[in-house]
Structure formats: structure tokens, C-alpha cells
Amino acid sequence: MRLAGKVALVTGAARRRGIGREIVTCLAEEGADVVINDVGAEDEALELVEQVGALGRRAIWHQADVSERDAVDEMFRRTAGTLGVPDIVCSNAGVASWQPFLDITDDAWRQVVDVNVIGAFNVSQAAARMLIAAGRPGRIVFTSSVHVQMPFAQMAVYGASKSAIRALADVAAIELAPHGITVNHVGPGWVKSHINDASPALQTEDDVRNTLALIPLGRPADPREVGRAVTFLVSEDGDYITGEFLRVDGGFVVGKH
Ligand SMILES: NC(=O)c1ccc[n+]([C@@H]2O[C@H](COP(=O)([O-])OP(=O)(O)OC[C@H]3O[C@@H](n4cnc5c(N)ncnc54)[C@H](O)[C@@H]3O)[C@@H](O)[C@H]2O)c1
């Protein structure tokens, strides 16, 4: 029970096959009460609230679009007023888009940047402001991606958005350190979640074989394996870790480069 007495907020956490859901479960198993955020998937979110309750922890479902500043501020106010000021904030919500560079549309660019960059900024700034106002230390963890280090064709927009998260995390780590707030990001490789259902690299059996051949551990990650890495960073074990990028990729990056 490394997180007993802690309050956590996880964005993009409702979907059954999602990373966020497993972050919630791992944090709750370690004793944290949890706010489950997502833009939709209410049925799945309410099921997760019940699962967290069965672990003996409190959970609330808060539907909000992280790209909307007012909605994010309202979510933090509600969190503080119910479970308490969140000690742990996981900015995990994200969307992907696959388009050849020459065909990238304004709509795709805006949608990805709105959620992945503006959303991550809204959530992390709201978290830091609330923690500092309360005089409390805290942990912020973004879900970025191996694409921070590994360019993939058709993923310019997604890669750019995740590289922006890296820059945000690095600078926030410096500026928030004096307040006792650590800021890190985890980089999943291939995780079997909804986001990859549309990936052109995973449509046929041959595609899957070719992608697996790039991963030294020879398999995609279970979302829970990302949840466990996040738990490590926000637990006491991560006390002296800030500004770090922790890949959870089965060796994808070292295998490819
Ligand atoms: N699956 C992978 O292989 C992989 C690899 C690297 C990084 N990631 C990152 O992991 C994170 C989680 O993705 P996932 O793989 O679990 O996919 P997912 O699609 O299951 O989860 C993403 C969640 O974010 C939610 N979301 C989207 N827009 C939102 C918004 N505006 N406000 C609030 N929530 C919103 C979605 O509803 C969904 O539940 C994302 O940031 C993604 O970019 C995933």
C-alpha cells in the first residue's frame, strides 16, 4: 500500500482496453483514491468506479474534455471538494492520427494538438497551481510515447505532439522542483489499446508480424505494465526522479535504432 492516503486524478481513463484504466487500477491497488476522467465512455467509467470501490478505495467519475481549460479547472475544483487536492496527476488522455506528411489536414493537426498538447498543458498547469496554493508536494506524470525518440512515417503530427509533452515535462520539472513536485513522462511503445485499432502498421497479420519483429521482447505491452511504471514514479521509489522519460516499450527504441 505505497499510496495509502493519496488522491490521484487520471485523464483518459475510462476505456476498457486503455492505459488510463490500468493506471487507475494500479494506483487504487496501492491505496489511492482516484478521479477517473474521460471525454466519453460513461458506462465503462462507472464500471471502473465500482471496481475501485471493490478495492476499498473511493473513486469518482468526471467527464470533461481536457482541451477545454474551464472544464479542466472545474474538474480540479470538484476533486479538491470531494476527495481532496490531488497528490498525483496523470495526464494520459491522447488521440492519434496517421497521415502522410503531404496529406496532413488542418483538422487532424488541430484535433491532435488540442488533446495531446493543450490538454496536457491544461491538466498539468491546473495540478501544479492547486498543489502550490495548498503548499503540498505532488507528482505529475504524462503519458508521452516512444515517438518522442523514434520517428515513424505517417506519424508527424502525433510525434510532434508527444515531443511537445517532453518539452513541457522537462521545463515543468525544473520550475516545480522547488515546490516538491516531480514531473516525469512514460513512453509506451505498442500497447494493445483502442488507439492502435486504426494504425496502418497493424492491419494485417503480416503487419503485426513485422511490427513484433521490431520489438526485442517480441510482444506488445499489456496496459497494466504502463500502469505499474507510473505507480513506480509516483510512489516513494520515485522520490528522487524528476524530468525523466521512462520508456515502457519492450526494447522497441533500442531495437529499431
Ligand atoms: N497504445 C499505444 O500503443 C500507445 C503508445 C504510446 C503512447 N500512447 C498514449 O497512451 C495514452 C493512452 O492511450 P491508450 O493507448 O490507452 O488509448 P485509448 O484510446 O484507449 O485511450 C485514450 C483515452 O483518452 C480519451 N480522450 C481522448 N480525447 C480526450 C479528451 N479531449 N479529454 C479527455 N479524454 C480524452 C479517450 O476517450 C480514451 O479513453 C495516450 O496519450 C496515447 O497517446 C499509447
Three cell numbers, residue 165: 509533452
Per the CB < 8 A criterion, the answer to whether 59 and 159 are in contact is no
C-beta 15 within 6 A of ligand 1: yes
C-beta 195 within 6 A of ligand 1: yes
Closest residue to atom 21 of ligand 1, CA basis: 18
pLDDT tens track for 185-218: 999 999 989 898 888 888 899 999 999 999 999 9
- Within 10 angstroms of residue 199's Cβ, the number of other Cβ atoms is 16
What secondary structure letter does DSSP report for 114? I
Per the CB < 8 A criterion, the answer to whether 126 and 178 are in contact is no
- Within 10 angstroms of residue 175's Cβ, the number of other Cβ atoms is 11
Place of cell 528522487: 240
pLDDT tens track for 155-171: 999 999 999 999 999 99
Per the CB < 8 A criterion, the answer to whether 90 and 10 are in contact is yes
Who contacts 171 (Cβ-Cβ below 8 Å, separation ≥6)? none
Q: Please tell us whether the domain made up of 7-256 is placed in CATH 3.40.50.720.
A: yes
* Residue 135 alpha carbon to ligand 1 centre in Å: 31
Dihedral, CA of residue 75, residue 20, residue 229 and residue 164, to nearest 10: -70
C-beta 12 within 6 A of ligand 1: yes
Exactly one of 121, 142, 158, 232 is catalytic; name it. Answer: 158
C-beta 90 within 6 A of ligand 1: no
The residue to mutate among 193, 222, 230, having the most atoms of ligand 1 within 8 angstroms of its beta carbon, is 193
Tell whether the torsion through CA atoms of 154, 158, 161 and 163 is positive or negative.
negative
CA atoms within 13 A on the CB side of 223: 22
pLDDT tens sequence for the chain (257 residues): 999 999 999 999 999 999 999 999 999 999 999 999 999 999 999 999 999 999 999 999 999 999 999 999 999 999 999 999 999 999 999 999 999 999 999 999 999 999 999 999 999 999 999 999 999 999 999 999 999 999 999 999 999 999 999 999 999 999 999 999 999 999 999 998 989 888 888 889 999 999 999 999 999 999 999 999 999 999 999 999 999 999 999 999 999 76
Nearest atom in ligand 1 to 147's CA: 6
- Respond yes or no: is residue 240 known to be catalytic: no
Furthest C-alpha separation in the chain: 54
